[in-house]
Amino acid sequence: MSAIRRSLLAPWRLFLLGVLLAGSAGAQTVTVYSARNEQLIKPLFDAYTQETGTQIQILTDKEGPLLERLKAEGAKTPADVLITVDAGNLWQASQMGLLRSIKSPVLNANIPANLRDPKGEWYGLSVRARTIIYNKKAVNPANLSTYEALAGPEWKGKLCLRTSKKVYNQSLVATMIATLGEKQTEQVVRGWVANLATEVFPDDNALIKAVAAGQCEVGIVNTYYLARQLEKDPNLPVGLFWANQKARGVHVNISGAGVTRHAPNAVGGQKLIEWLSAGKAQEIYTDKDFEYPANPQIKPDSIISQWGAFRMDLINVSRAGELQAAATRLMDRAGYR
Ligand code: FE
């Protein structure tokens, strides 16, 4: 008995065991920390495992705790990949030194330059457009044009907005600062606040319902929320208008991913992100979550195709992160709660 135990623990056997474990775990498993809920990413990962044999371990949580966890784990982290929504969050992760720069001709070919980090630390995988919606019975879309125009006196008492605490609005206002400057952006935001029909909403869904009910005539939301509601009720009297098409284009943000600074399996992590940027994965993003593919070669073919093509603001989405604090201060000054 003791002889057996001794021989099992012989140093060369331990060494061999280590090599075997490292070989199988290293090459066959990728660990992902995700701020996107499991419901959306699981079908993607299942398809990846089926295609490549690579197992994926997922840990989901909100952005804040995930970033703190990565920071606390440091070099001991099991995470290879960080997935989150909003460039502001990815920018934050990059600022905290949690991501590594990767060189990927595949990602550079699949993902347009405005949707990825100039340093290669993160890459957009789906596009989320934030635009104007209107009540079809009350508004002639010919009278709509830009986000800025919603600050005009003709919309007094007719505009609905989601809270400024949500990163989506912080990113929208941040990119406005980048384009229009602080002064003009503040005038616009003050105009919005003056035009509010009611208190700001806690989420986009409640806002869409208020527009449908006629409580407000116009609002600003991410398009996938409207797609989800239209899927349930195709007769919802809410129209979508692509904002700012004559100039800079509609505000877009991303969901995206990066390889972590201390990834035990950085190669596997990069391969996963590359896979997510093309083909079947890009179709799943569109069809299951009604977001737009980040890869322009993939065409949306779900309910969202009815809204047609649109011009997107080509400002690099990382600017939304850089100017997020300035945007928050500006909205606060302007009384946007
Ligand atoms: Fe959302």
Model confidence pLDDT, tens digit, residues 17-41: 433 444 444 458 999 999 998 888 9
222-234 as b/e: b if 16+ CB within 10 A: bbbbbbebbeeee
pLDDT in tens, 53-79: 999 999 999 999 999 999 999 999 999
DSSP strand pairing (218-222 vs 159-160): parallel
Q: Give the closest residue to 319 by CA, choosing from 149, 172, 103.
A: 172
CA 12–ligand 1 middle distance (angstroms): 53
CA 10–ligand 1 middle distance (angstroms): 54
52-69 as b/e: b if 16+ CB within 10 A: eebebebebeebeebbee
Least confident of 23-27, 43-47, 63-67, 122-126: 23-27
Report residue 29: phi and psi, to 5°: -130, 135
Please tell me the CATH superfamily of domain 3-127+253-299, with its number.
Periplasmic binding protein-like II (3.40.190.10)
Q: What is the pLDDT of residue 28?
A: 85
CA 149–ligand 1 middle distance (angstroms): 24
CA 253–ligand 1 middle distance (angstroms): 11
CA 206–ligand 1 middle distance (angstroms): 13
pTM: 0.88
Domain boundaries in the chain? 3-127+253-299, 128-251+313-333
Encoded tokens for 36? 């996107």
CA 275–ligand 1 middle distance (angstroms): 23
CATH topology of domain 128-251+313-333: D-Maltodextrin-Binding Protein; domain 2 (3.40.190)
CA 167–ligand 1 middle distance (angstroms): 10
Dihedral sign of CA atoms 97, 94, 168, 33 in order: negative
Q: What mean pLDDT comes out for the span 302-317?
A: 94
CA 242–ligand 1 middle distance (angstroms): 18
CA 129–ligand 1 middle distance (angstroms): 11
